[in-house]
Protein backbone atom coordinates (compact mmCIF):
# COMPACT_ATOMS: atom_id res chain seq x y z
CA UNK A 1 0.00 0.00 0.00
CA UNK A 2 1.17 3.53 -0.77
CA UNK A 3 1.85 6.06 1.96
CA UNK A 4 -1.33 7.68 3.32
CA UNK A 5 -1.57 11.33 2.26
CA UNK A 6 -4.03 14.03 3.31
CA UNK A 7 -4.10 16.51 0.45
CA UNK A 8 -6.21 19.18 2.08
CA UNK A 9 -5.26 20.73 5.40
CA UNK A 10 -5.89 24.42 5.96
CA UNK A 11 -3.60 25.41 8.84
CA UNK A 12 -3.55 28.65 10.77
CA UNK A 13 -0.05 29.45 9.57
CA UNK A 14 0.49 32.31 12.01
CA UNK A 15 -0.38 30.08 14.99
CA UNK A 16 2.70 27.98 15.71
CA UNK A 17 1.06 25.88 18.46
CA UNK A 18 -1.81 24.91 16.19
CA UNK A 19 0.63 23.88 13.42
CA UNK A 20 2.61 21.69 15.82
CA UNK A 21 -0.57 20.07 17.13
CA UNK A 22 -1.79 19.48 13.57
CA UNK A 23 1.51 17.76 12.72
CA UNK A 24 1.29 15.58 15.85
CA UNK A 25 -2.33 14.64 15.16
CA UNK A 26 -1.49 13.74 11.56
CA UNK A 27 1.35 11.56 12.78
CA UNK A 28 -0.84 9.77 15.32
CA UNK A 29 -3.53 9.31 12.65
CA UNK A 30 -0.94 7.49 10.53
CA UNK A 31 -0.25 9.94 7.71
CA UNK A 32 3.15 10.14 6.04
CA UNK A 33 2.58 13.20 3.86
CA UNK A 34 0.30 16.21 3.77
CA UNK A 35 -0.56 19.11 1.48
CA UNK A 36 -1.15 22.39 3.30
CA UNK A 37 -3.23 25.14 1.76
CA UNK A 38 -0.97 28.15 2.11
CA UNK A 39 -1.81 31.81 1.53
CA UNK A 40 -0.26 33.26 -1.61
CA UNK A 41 1.70 35.98 0.17
CA UNK A 42 3.50 33.67 2.59
CA UNK A 43 7.26 34.17 2.77
CA UNK A 44 9.57 31.38 1.59
CA UNK A 45 11.24 31.27 5.01
CA UNK A 46 7.89 30.71 6.68
CA UNK A 47 7.10 27.86 4.27
CA UNK A 48 10.53 26.36 4.96
CA UNK A 49 10.02 26.52 8.72
CA UNK A 50 6.57 24.90 8.35
CA UNK A 51 8.14 22.17 6.23
CA UNK A 52 10.77 21.58 8.92
CA UNK A 53 8.16 21.53 11.67
CA UNK A 54 6.18 18.83 9.87
CA UNK A 55 9.36 16.95 9.00
CA UNK A 56 10.21 16.86 12.72
CA UNK A 57 6.99 14.90 13.24
CA UNK A 58 7.84 12.58 10.36
CA UNK A 59 5.39 14.15 7.92
CA UNK A 60 6.43 15.24 4.43
CA UNK A 61 4.81 18.58 3.60
CA UNK A 62 3.70 19.91 0.22
CA UNK A 63 2.32 23.34 -0.59
CA UNK A 64 -1.16 23.60 -2.02
CA UNK A 65 -3.23 26.46 -3.39
CA UNK A 66 -7.02 26.58 -3.49
CA UNK A 67 -8.11 28.80 -6.34
CA UNK A 68 -11.58 30.21 -6.07
CA UNK A 69 -12.64 32.75 -8.68
CA UNK A 70 -15.73 33.60 -10.69
CA UNK A 71 -14.64 33.56 -14.32
CA UNK A 72 -12.39 31.84 -16.85
CA UNK A 73 -9.96 34.73 -17.46
CA UNK A 74 -9.26 35.09 -13.76
CA UNK A 75 -8.72 31.35 -13.38
CA UNK A 76 -6.28 31.18 -16.30
CA UNK A 77 -4.38 34.20 -14.97
CA UNK A 78 -4.07 32.62 -11.51
CA UNK A 79 -2.99 29.29 -12.98
CA UNK A 80 -0.26 31.00 -15.03
CA UNK A 81 0.95 32.79 -11.96
CA UNK A 82 0.84 30.02 -9.35
CA UNK A 83 1.25 26.68 -11.15
CA UNK A 84 5.02 26.69 -10.77
CA UNK A 85 4.97 27.96 -7.20
CA UNK A 86 2.79 25.29 -5.56
CA UNK A 87 3.05 21.50 -5.48
CA UNK A 88 -0.71 20.96 -5.69
CA UNK A 89 -3.20 23.21 -7.49
CA UNK A 90 -6.87 22.82 -6.58
CA UNK A 91 -9.83 24.77 -7.92
CA UNK A 92 -13.03 25.34 -6.02
CA UNK A 93 -15.73 25.32 -8.67
CA UNK A 94 -18.20 28.06 -7.83
CA UNK A 95 -20.10 27.79 -11.10
CA UNK A 96 -20.56 25.26 -13.87
CA UNK A 97 -18.58 27.17 -16.55
CA UNK A 98 -15.60 27.48 -14.24
CA UNK A 99 -15.88 23.78 -13.36
CA UNK A 100 -15.64 22.90 -17.08
CA UNK A 101 -12.55 25.05 -17.63
CA UNK A 102 -10.82 23.80 -14.48
CA UNK A 103 -11.58 20.15 -15.18
CA UNK A 104 -10.18 20.40 -18.71
CA UNK A 105 -7.01 22.34 -17.86
CA UNK A 106 -3.96 20.11 -17.41
CA UNK A 107 -2.44 22.50 -14.87
CA UNK A 108 -5.24 21.76 -12.42
CA UNK A 109 -4.68 18.72 -10.20
CA UNK A 110 -7.87 18.72 -8.18
CA UNK A 111 -11.35 20.17 -8.45
CA UNK A 112 -13.83 20.31 -5.62
CA UNK A 113 -17.36 21.57 -5.12
CA UNK A 114 -19.17 23.14 -2.24
CA UNK A 115 -21.87 20.61 -1.23
CA UNK A 116 -23.95 23.36 0.29
CA UNK A 117 -24.30 25.06 -3.12
CA UNK A 118 -27.14 23.19 -4.69
CA UNK A 119 -26.91 24.72 -8.17
CA UNK A 120 -23.30 23.63 -8.86
CA UNK A 121 -22.26 20.01 -8.87
CA UNK A 122 -19.96 17.53 -10.60
CA UNK A 123 -22.14 16.54 -13.53
CA UNK A 124 -21.60 14.33 -16.59
CA UNK A 125 -20.43 17.23 -18.79
CA UNK A 126 -17.63 18.09 -16.37
CA UNK A 127 -16.77 14.44 -15.71
CA UNK A 128 -16.55 13.78 -19.43
CA UNK A 129 -13.71 16.28 -19.96
CA UNK A 130 -12.06 16.01 -16.57
CA UNK A 131 -8.30 15.49 -16.34
CA UNK A 132 -8.27 16.61 -12.73
CA UNK A 133 -9.21 14.44 -9.78
CA UNK A 134 -12.42 15.09 -7.88
CA UNK A 135 -11.88 15.83 -4.21
CA UNK A 136 -14.31 15.04 -1.44
CA UNK A 137 -13.69 16.89 1.80
CA UNK A 138 -14.74 15.32 5.07
CA UNK A 139 -15.11 18.74 6.70
CA UNK A 140 -18.08 19.53 4.43
CA UNK A 141 -19.92 16.46 5.73
CA UNK A 142 -19.80 17.83 9.28
CA UNK A 143 -22.24 20.57 8.37
CA UNK A 144 -25.72 20.25 9.87
CA UNK A 145 -27.53 21.13 6.63
CA UNK A 146 -25.64 18.69 4.39
CA UNK A 147 -27.47 16.04 2.42
CA UNK A 148 -25.35 13.05 1.52
CA UNK A 149 -27.15 12.59 -1.80
CA UNK A 150 -25.01 15.22 -3.51
CA UNK A 151 -21.58 13.72 -2.72
CA UNK A 152 -23.00 10.24 -3.42
CA UNK A 153 -24.21 11.37 -6.84
CA UNK A 154 -20.89 13.05 -7.61
CA UNK A 155 -18.97 9.89 -6.70
CA UNK A 156 -21.32 7.83 -8.84
CA UNK A 157 -20.71 10.11 -11.85
CA UNK A 158 -16.94 10.13 -11.20
CA UNK A 159 -16.76 6.32 -11.15
CA UNK A 160 -18.87 6.09 -14.33
CA UNK A 161 -16.40 8.35 -16.16
CA UNK A 162 -13.35 6.85 -14.44
CA UNK A 163 -12.42 10.16 -12.83
CA UNK A 164 -10.05 9.72 -9.91
CA UNK A 165 -11.53 10.51 -6.50
CA UNK A 166 -9.38 11.93 -3.71
CA UNK A 167 -10.61 11.73 -0.12
CA UNK A 168 -9.30 14.53 2.11
CA UNK A 169 -10.15 15.91 5.50
CA UNK A 170 -10.27 19.59 4.44
CA UNK A 171 -9.69 20.41 8.07
CA UNK A 172 -9.12 23.84 9.56
CA UNK A 173 -8.30 22.60 13.06
CA UNK A 174 -6.41 19.56 14.46
CA UNK A 175 -9.69 18.19 15.86
CA UNK A 176 -11.01 17.63 12.33
CA UNK A 177 -8.27 15.20 11.36
CA UNK A 178 -9.33 11.58 10.86
CA UNK A 179 -7.34 8.43 10.06
CA UNK A 180 -6.91 7.31 6.43
CA UNK A 181 -8.99 4.21 7.22
CA UNK A 182 -11.83 6.39 8.48
CA UNK A 183 -11.72 8.53 5.34
CA UNK A 184 -11.80 5.45 3.13
CA UNK A 185 -14.72 4.05 5.17
CA UNK A 186 -16.63 7.27 4.45
CA UNK A 187 -15.72 6.92 0.77
CA UNK A 188 -17.16 3.41 0.78
CA UNK A 189 -20.34 4.59 2.45
CA UNK A 190 -20.68 7.21 -0.30
CA UNK A 191 -20.34 4.63 -3.07
CA UNK A 192 -16.69 3.86 -3.78
CA UNK A 193 -15.53 0.27 -3.78
CA UNK A 194 -12.86 -0.84 -1.32
CA UNK A 195 -9.93 -0.38 -3.70
CA UNK A 196 -11.07 3.03 -4.94
CA UNK A 197 -11.58 4.19 -1.36
CA UNK A 198 -8.14 2.97 -0.31
CA UNK A 199 -6.49 4.57 -3.35
CA UNK A 200 -8.34 7.82 -2.62
CA UNK A 201 -6.25 8.36 0.50
CA UNK A 202 -2.99 6.87 -0.70
CA UNK A 203 -2.14 6.00 -4.32
CA UNK A 204 -4.04 8.81 -6.09
CA UNK A 205 -2.91 11.75 -3.90
CA UNK A 206 0.59 10.33 -3.85
CA UNK A 207 0.70 10.11 -7.66
CA UNK A 208 -0.50 13.73 -7.92
CA UNK A 209 2.19 14.95 -5.56
CA UNK A 210 4.95 12.84 -7.15
CA UNK A 211 4.05 14.00 -10.64
CA UNK A 212 4.14 17.66 -9.61
CA UNK A 213 7.41 17.33 -7.72
CA UNK A 214 8.90 15.83 -10.87
CA UNK A 215 7.43 18.63 -13.00
CA UNK A 216 9.01 21.23 -10.77
CA UNK A 217 12.43 19.60 -10.80
CA UNK A 218 15.24 21.15 -12.87
CA UNK A 219 15.61 18.04 -15.03
CA UNK A 220 12.02 18.18 -16.24
CA UNK A 221 11.54 19.53 -19.77
CA UNK A 222 8.03 18.40 -20.69
CA UNK A 223 5.83 15.34 -20.36
CA UNK A 224 8.00 12.33 -21.20
CA UNK A 225 11.16 14.42 -21.69
CA UNK A 226 13.75 15.04 -19.00
CA UNK A 227 17.44 15.95 -18.88
CA UNK A 228 19.49 12.85 -18.18
CA UNK A 229 22.98 14.27 -18.63
CA UNK A 230 24.23 17.76 -19.38
CA UNK A 231 26.84 18.29 -22.11
CA UNK A 232 30.25 19.10 -20.68
CA UNK A 233 31.19 22.65 -21.63
CA UNK B 1 -20.22 -12.37 14.83
CA UNK B 2 -18.90 -9.08 16.20
CA UNK B 3 -16.05 -6.71 15.36
CA UNK B 4 -14.27 -4.74 18.04
CA UNK B 5 -12.94 -1.21 17.65
CA UNK B 6 -10.27 0.47 19.77
CA UNK B 7 -11.05 4.19 19.58
CA UNK B 8 -8.91 7.01 20.95
CA UNK B 9 -10.67 10.28 21.70
CA UNK B 10 -8.94 13.66 21.50
CA UNK B 11 -10.76 16.69 22.81
CA UNK B 12 -9.90 20.38 22.87
CA UNK B 13 -11.42 21.48 26.17
CA UNK B 14 -13.04 18.44 27.70
CA UNK B 15 -10.96 17.28 30.67
CA UNK B 16 -13.06 14.42 32.02
CA UNK B 17 -14.87 12.52 29.32
CA UNK B 18 -17.21 9.77 30.45
CA UNK B 19 -18.24 6.60 28.67
CA UNK B 20 -21.89 7.71 28.63
CA UNK B 21 -21.00 10.95 26.89
CA UNK B 22 -19.01 9.08 24.27
CA UNK B 23 -21.64 6.42 23.52
CA UNK B 24 -24.35 9.11 23.37
CA UNK B 25 -22.30 10.99 20.77
CA UNK B 26 -21.63 7.78 18.84
CA UNK B 27 -25.28 6.73 18.83
CA UNK B 28 -26.43 10.15 17.68
CA UNK B 29 -23.84 10.07 14.87
CA UNK B 30 -25.04 6.60 13.77
CA UNK B 31 -28.64 7.80 14.00
CA UNK B 32 -27.92 10.99 12.02
CA UNK B 33 -26.17 9.29 9.11
CA UNK B 34 -27.79 5.81 9.06
CA UNK B 35 -31.13 6.28 10.81
CA UNK B 36 -32.92 4.20 13.40
CA UNK B 37 -32.65 1.05 11.29
CA UNK B 38 -28.92 1.71 11.06
CA UNK B 39 -28.67 1.81 14.84
CA UNK B 40 -30.31 -1.57 15.15
CA UNK B 41 -28.39 -3.25 12.31
CA UNK B 42 -24.97 -1.82 13.23
CA UNK B 43 -25.75 -2.43 16.93
CA UNK B 44 -22.89 -0.40 18.43
CA UNK B 45 -22.13 -1.29 22.04
CA UNK B 46 -19.62 0.29 24.40
CA UNK B 47 -17.70 -2.50 26.14
CA UNK B 48 -14.92 -0.64 27.94
CA UNK B 49 -13.97 2.97 28.51
CA UNK B 50 -10.71 4.18 29.98
CA UNK B 51 -11.16 7.84 31.04
CA UNK B 52 -7.44 8.29 31.81
CA UNK B 53 -6.27 7.26 28.35
CA UNK B 54 -9.50 8.43 26.65
CA UNK B 55 -9.83 5.08 24.92
CA UNK B 56 -12.96 3.08 24.24
CA UNK B 57 -13.66 -0.41 22.99
CA UNK B 58 -16.83 -0.58 20.94
CA UNK B 59 -18.41 -3.66 19.37
CA UNK B 60 -20.61 -3.82 16.28
CA UNK B 61 -22.02 -6.36 13.83
CA UNK B 62 -19.22 -7.79 11.69
CA UNK B 63 -20.83 -6.93 8.36
CA UNK B 64 -21.37 -3.30 9.44
CA UNK B 65 -17.86 -2.28 10.43
CA UNK B 66 -17.47 0.31 7.64
CA UNK B 67 -20.64 2.06 8.75
CA UNK B 68 -19.45 2.20 12.35
CA UNK B 69 -16.04 3.44 11.28
CA UNK B 70 -17.67 6.22 9.24
CA UNK B 71 -19.98 7.12 12.13
CA UNK B 72 -17.00 7.35 14.51
CA UNK B 73 -15.20 9.59 12.01
CA UNK B 74 -18.23 11.85 11.76
CA UNK B 75 -18.37 12.60 15.49
CA UNK B 76 -17.58 16.29 15.62
CA UNK B 77 -18.17 17.23 19.24
CA UNK B 78 -18.92 15.70 22.61
CA UNK B 79 -20.64 17.72 25.33
CA UNK B 80 -20.11 20.94 23.37
CA UNK B 81 -16.38 20.45 23.02
CA UNK B 82 -14.81 19.84 19.63
CA UNK B 83 -13.58 16.26 19.47
CA UNK B 84 -11.68 13.86 17.23
CA UNK B 85 -12.38 10.15 17.64
CA UNK B 86 -9.71 8.13 15.84
CA UNK B 87 -9.97 4.41 15.21
CA UNK B 88 -6.69 2.91 16.39
CA UNK B 89 -7.37 -0.75 15.60
CA UNK B 90 -10.16 -3.09 14.53
CA UNK B 91 -10.16 -6.74 15.46
CA UNK B 92 -12.25 -9.85 15.79
CA UNK B 93 -11.33 -10.36 19.45
CA UNK B 94 -10.96 -7.99 22.39
CA UNK B 95 -7.78 -9.76 23.46
CA UNK B 96 -5.90 -8.81 20.30
CA UNK B 97 -7.10 -5.21 20.60
CA UNK B 98 -5.62 -4.66 24.03
CA UNK B 99 -2.36 -6.59 23.60
CB contact under 8 A, B70 and A28: no
Q: Which residues of B touch A185 (CB under 8 A)?
A: 66-67, 69-70, 73
For residues A37 and A59, give the distance between their C-alpha atoms in angstroms, rounded to a whole number. 15
Q: Is there a domain that residue A79 lies in?
A: yes
pLDDT per residue over A2-41, tens digit each?
Answer: 789 999 999 998 888 889 999 999 999 999 999 999 998 8
Q: Is there a domain that residue A231 lies in?
A: no
pLDDT band of residue A158 (cuts 50, 70, 90) is very high
Print the domain residue range for A16. Answer: 5-226
| A170 to chain B, closest Cα gap in Å | 13
CB contact under 8 A, A173 and B82: yes
Q: Is there a domain that residue A72 lies in?
A: yes
- DSSP-derived secondary structure letter, A232: P
- Contact present, A118 and A143 (Cβ < 8 Å): no
Which one of A25, A28, A189 has the shortest CB-CB distance to B70?
A189
CB contact under 8 A, B10 and A186: no
Q: Is there a domain that residue A122 lies in?
A: yes
CA-CA-CA-CA torsion for A114, A200, A14, A79, nearest 10 degrees?
Answer: -70
pLDDT per residue over A85-128, tens digit each?
Answer: 899 999 999 999 999 999 999 999 999 998 778 788 999 999 99
Residue in chain A nearest B10 by alpha carbon: A175
| A160 to chain B, closest Cα gap in Å | 23
For residues B72 and B84, give the distance between their C-alpha atoms in angstroms, rounded to a whole number. 9
- Print burial letters for A142-152: b (CB count within 10 Å at least 16), e (below 16): beeeeeeebbe
Domain boundaries, chain B: 2-9+16-91
Domain count, chain A: 1
Q: Is the dihedral of CA A204, A146, B7, B31 positive or negative?
A: negative
| B51 to chain A, closest Cα gap in Å | 18
CATH for the B2-9+16-91 domain, from 3.30.428.10, 3.40.50.300, 3.30.230.30, 3.30.70.3250: 3.30.70.3250
Tell me which residues of chain B have a pLDDT lower than 50. none
Residue A81 has pLDDT above 90, yes or no: yes
List the CATH number of the domain containing A115: 3.20.20.140
Q: Is there a domain that residue A233 lies in?
A: no
For residues B50 and B58, give the distance between their C-alpha atoms in angstroms, rounded to a whole number. 12
pLDDT band of residue A148 (cuts 50, 70, 90) is confident
Amino acid sequence: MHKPVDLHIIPRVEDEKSCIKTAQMLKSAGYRAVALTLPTGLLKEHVRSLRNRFADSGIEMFARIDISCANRQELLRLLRRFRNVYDVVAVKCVNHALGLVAARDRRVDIIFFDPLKRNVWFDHSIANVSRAALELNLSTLFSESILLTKPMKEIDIATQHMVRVVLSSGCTSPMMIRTPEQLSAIGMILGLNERQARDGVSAIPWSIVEQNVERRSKEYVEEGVRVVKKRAS
Amino acid sequence: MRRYFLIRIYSENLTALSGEQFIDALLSSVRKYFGEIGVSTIAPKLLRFDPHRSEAIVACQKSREKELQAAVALIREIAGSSTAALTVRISGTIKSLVT
